[in-house]
Chains A and B, each alone.
Chain A
C-alpha cells in the first residue's frame, strides 16, 4: 500500500483494525474523538464490534468482559477519561486480561483543557489503580511510529496478558502526516487463549474462572510475585528508546512524544552555536529506558528533561541518575507546546550560570 495522509486519531484507529482488534468500547472525549468516530464506521464494516458505552467506567469494564472472553480489545480516551478507567485497568492487570488502551493526552488536573499535554506520565507509569501492577506503555513521536506500535501492542498484550497503553498528546492525535500501512503484513495471530473464559469446558474439562480476588494472603502474594515476573520480563525486553546525536554530546535532553519533536529543532539550533547537545528519546515509558543512559559517552555531564508537564518523567531521570549527571528540567504545561527557541534560551541561560 502506498502512502496516505491521515489525521493522528484516524491513523491510530486504522492501525488497531490492522492490528486485529476484534472489539472497541469507548466513550467520547476531546481531543481523541476522531478515533471512535472512525471506528464507528470501520469496525462494523470489517465485521468487528464497536460499542459506545455510557461512560468510561462502563467502557473499561466491557473491555474486561470481552478481553476475558479471549477477544483482542481496544479502548481509547484522553487524560480525565483515562483517570476514570484506572480502576478497571487495575482489575485487568490483576486478572491478567490483555487489552490495548490509546491515551490522547490533554491538560489537567481535573477537567483541565483540550490542548495537548504530557501530564499523564504519572498515571501511565504509576497507575491510578490500586495494587502492585504495571502497564506496558509506549509514547510514539510521529504517526508512523504510533501506527507501528499500536499494531505491535496487540500481540504484546497477549504475550504478557496485561494491558498495553499507547500514549500520545493531543497534537499527535490532531495532526496530519503521511503513513504507510503494509497490507501484506500479517499481524501475529492471537492464537487460542487457553486461559480465556470462553463459555465452554474445552479440552481442559473445566470452565476457566477470571478474577483478581485472592482471599488467602499467601496466594495473593504468590499472584503478585507472578505478576512481578512479567514486569521484570518487560524491563528486560521492552525498553525502547532512540539516541539522537549523543555520541559527542556534553548535554543530553530527555524528551518523548511531541516534546521530542520540538527538542530535535533545539538540538540543531544549539549545535549550530557550537553547543554539543544530544537527546535520549524514551519510546517506552514503562519500562523506563534505563539502558539508554548506560550508553551515553563519558563526556556527557548534564541531562535536561523536557516535558509538556511540570516534571513527571523527570522523577524517573532522577531515580536512574544516582548522582552521575547534573540534572535540569524545562517544561510547559496546561496545553502549551513550547517553541524550540524557548529550549535554546533555557540552555543558554544555564550555560551562562555555569560559566
Chain B
C-alpha cells in the first residue's frame, strides 16, 4: 500500500465505508474527510471510532459539525503531503464535484509522490452499470482531480441482498473496464457475512465492515 490513498467514485459507491475500513485495517495515521457534498453518512460521523483506532480524522474546518453541510475544508488536509511520515487515506465526495477538491494539492504532487488514486465501483448503481459508463466516469474523475486513476475497487453490492453472484457481476464488468483502460482491479470487497472464493476475484479480496450504516435499519 502506498503512503497516500485517494478514494473516489460515483456517489453511493461505498467510498466512505471503504476509506474507514482501510484506515482501521491498515492502522493509517489519518483519514481526511473531503466530503463536502453529503449531509449524512460521512466519515466525520464515526469520529469516535476512528479515534479509538488511533486514526486522526481531519475533517471540516468547523470540527464535529455533523449538523452542517457547509463546504469548509480544513487546512490540515495538506498535512500528509508535507509530513511524509504520515500514512493517510483521502475520502472524497462523489463524482466530479468531489474529485475536484484534489486539485488544491496539485502543487504538492509530482511523479515521485507515493499516491494511489482509486475509483470505487458498484455496478448496481445505475450511473456505473456498464463498461462505457465506468470508463466515462474514470475520465471525468481524472480530469476533475488532475490525477491518473491507478486502481479499480469492486464494491458491487445490493446491501443486505448481496451474495457472491452480485460481486461476480461487478468482477465481469470491471474486467472489461480494466482491459480497456489498463487500470488493474486492486481490491474486491465483500460483506462480512458473505463467503467468497478468493480465486474468483481480482485484486486483494477483503471483507467490508459496515461502520456507518446502522445494520439494524
Contact = CB atoms under 8 A, between A and B. Distances in A.
Given A114-B67, A171-B40, A174-B38, A7 B12 contact: yes
A265 interface: yes
A139 to B, nearest CB: 16
Contacts of A170: 39-40
Interface in A89-123: 113-116
A337 B66 CA distance: 14
Interface stretch (B80-88, B122-130, B133-141): B122-130
Interface stretch (A57-65, A175-183, A209-217): A175-183
A3 interface: yes
A26 to B, nearest CB: 17
Interface stretch (B101-109, B155-163, B175-183, B192-200): B155-163
Interface string A301-327: 000000000000000000000000000
A340 B69 contact: no
Contacts of A177: 159
Contact of B68 (A7, A114, A258): A114
B161 A3 contact: yes
A4 B41 CA distance: 20
B11 interface: yes
- Interface residue tally of chain A, by bracket? 20 to 34
B125 A4 contact: yes
Contacts of B124: 3-5, 178
A30 interface: yes
A17 to B, nearest CB: 12
B26 interface: no
A171 B38 CA distance: 12
B126 A6 contact: yes
Tell me which of A114, A116, A261 has the highest count of chain B C-beta atoms within 10 A of its own C-beta: A114
A31 interface: yes
Interface string A281-301: 000000000000000000000
A340 B216 contact: yes
Given A5-B157, A5-B159, A175 B125 contact: no
A282 to B, nearest CB: 19
A255 interface: no
Contacts of A258: 217
A262 B12 contact: no
Specify the main secondary structure of chain B where it touches its partner: loop
Given A5-B124, A177-B159, A262 B217 contact: yes
Contact of B67 (A113, A174, A178, A337): A113
B185 to A, nearest CB: 19
B213 interface: yes
Given A7-B12, A114-B39, A265 B161 contact: no
Contacts of B122: 5
B40 A335 contact: no
Interface string B35-54: 00011110000000000000
A11 to B, nearest CB: 10
Contacts of B66: 115
B69 A6 contact: no
B177 to A, nearest CB: 18
A5 B159 CA distance: 8
A124 to B, nearest CB: 22
A116 B214 CA distance: 14
A246 to B, nearest CB: 21
Contact of B158 (A5, A10, A262, A265): A5
A267 B216 CA distance: 13
A105 to B, nearest CB: 13
Contacts of A6: 12, 125-126
Contacts of A171: 40, 217
Nearest to A31: B39
Contacts of B67: 113-115, 335
B68 A5 contact: no
Nearest to A261: B217
B160 to A, nearest CB: 8
A353 B12 CA distance: 46
A31 B40 contact: yes
Contacts of A116: 40
Tell me which of A176, A177, A178, A261 has the highest count of chain B C-beta atoms within 10 A of its own C-beta: A176
Given A4-B124, A178-B124, A262-B217, 11 more contacts: A4-B125, A4-B129, A5-B158, A5-B159, A30-B69, A114-B68, A115-B66, A116-B40, A178-B158, A178-B159, A262-B216
10 contacts: A5-B12, A7-B11, A115-B40, A115-B66, A170-B39, A174-B40, A175-B41, A175-B217, A178-B124, A178-B158
The 6 closest A-B pairs by CB, nearest first: A174-B40, A178-B158, A5-B124, A30-B39, A31-B39, A4-B126
Interface of B: 11-12, 38-41, 66-69, 122, 124-126, 129, 157-159, 161, 213-214, 216-217
